[in-house]
Amino acid sequence: MTIYNLYMFDRDGQLLHYAEWIRKKQSGMSREEEAKLMYGMIFSIKSFVTKVSPVDLKEGYLTYCTNKYRLHLFETPSRIKFVLNTDVAAQGIKELLHQIYTQVYVEYVVFNPMCPLNKPIESELFAAKLDEVVRQSPAHASRPA
């Protein structure tokens, strides 16, 4: 199992943080442009899914799967979005994203007086802790399965 990369967006669609573990194919555009496209797609998928859903949707977790990878979207009550790409077989990603939110984002960004909440995150401690949590998760492995 493998974790590829992670995007974090605030409620206005601004990219707060991007982290990458394994990514063999780059998109060939700038990070900002890529983030905008990603956010746009997430936004559309979310509204589409809510519209066509035959039952009530309450959970802030969504995932889709292609042949090669799986995208996980986790949205907090404060509407911060975590988008994580993994391989198809990855397990327990919802728990991992929740852990990233409560144990990394809340602790090292929200409780860090040096981090403004609506700007891209510059804290090195945050990046280090994020990396640590992801590397410790069972879904992370050095090579794709």
Partner 1 sequence: MAEDAIFDLLHMEAVSYVFQGDKISEDEAVAKLEHMGFATGYRLVERLTRESGRFKDELDIMKYICKDLWVNVYRKQIDNLRTNHQGVYVLHDNRFRFLSHMAAGKQYLQYAPRYLAFTCGLVRGCLANLGITCVVTAEVTQLPACKFQIQVQRG
Q: Which residues sit at the interface with partner 1, rule CB under 8 A?
A: 107-108, 111-114, 123-125, 128
- Minimum separation from the CB atom of position 60 to partner 1 (A): 22
Distances (CA, A) of 2 to 21, 34, 92: 9, 21, 12
- Minimum separation from the CB atom of position 115 to partner 1 (A): 9
Residue 75 burial (C-beta neighbours within 10 Å; 0-12, 13-18, 19+):
buried
Which residue number, 35 or 115, has a Cβ lying nearer to partner 1?
Answer: 115
- Minimum separation from the CB atom of position 117 to partner 1 (A): 12
Distances (CA, A) of 144 to 3, 5, 6, 21, 138: 9, 13, 16, 11, 13
Which residue number, 78 or 91, has a Cβ lying nearer to partner 1?
Answer: 78
- Minimum separation from the CB atom of position 111 to partner 1 (A): 4
Beta carbons within 8 Å of 131's beta carbon, 6+ residues apart: 19
Which residue number, 39 or 101, has a Cβ lying nearer to partner 1?
Answer: 101
Cα–Cα dist 82/117, whole Å: 15
Which residue number, 114 or 145, has a Cβ lying nearer to partner 1?
Answer: 114
- Minimum separation from the CB atom of position 127 to partner 1 (A): 10
Cα–Cα dist 4/86, whole Å: 5
Which residue number, 34 or 107, has a Cβ lying nearer to partner 1?
Answer: 107
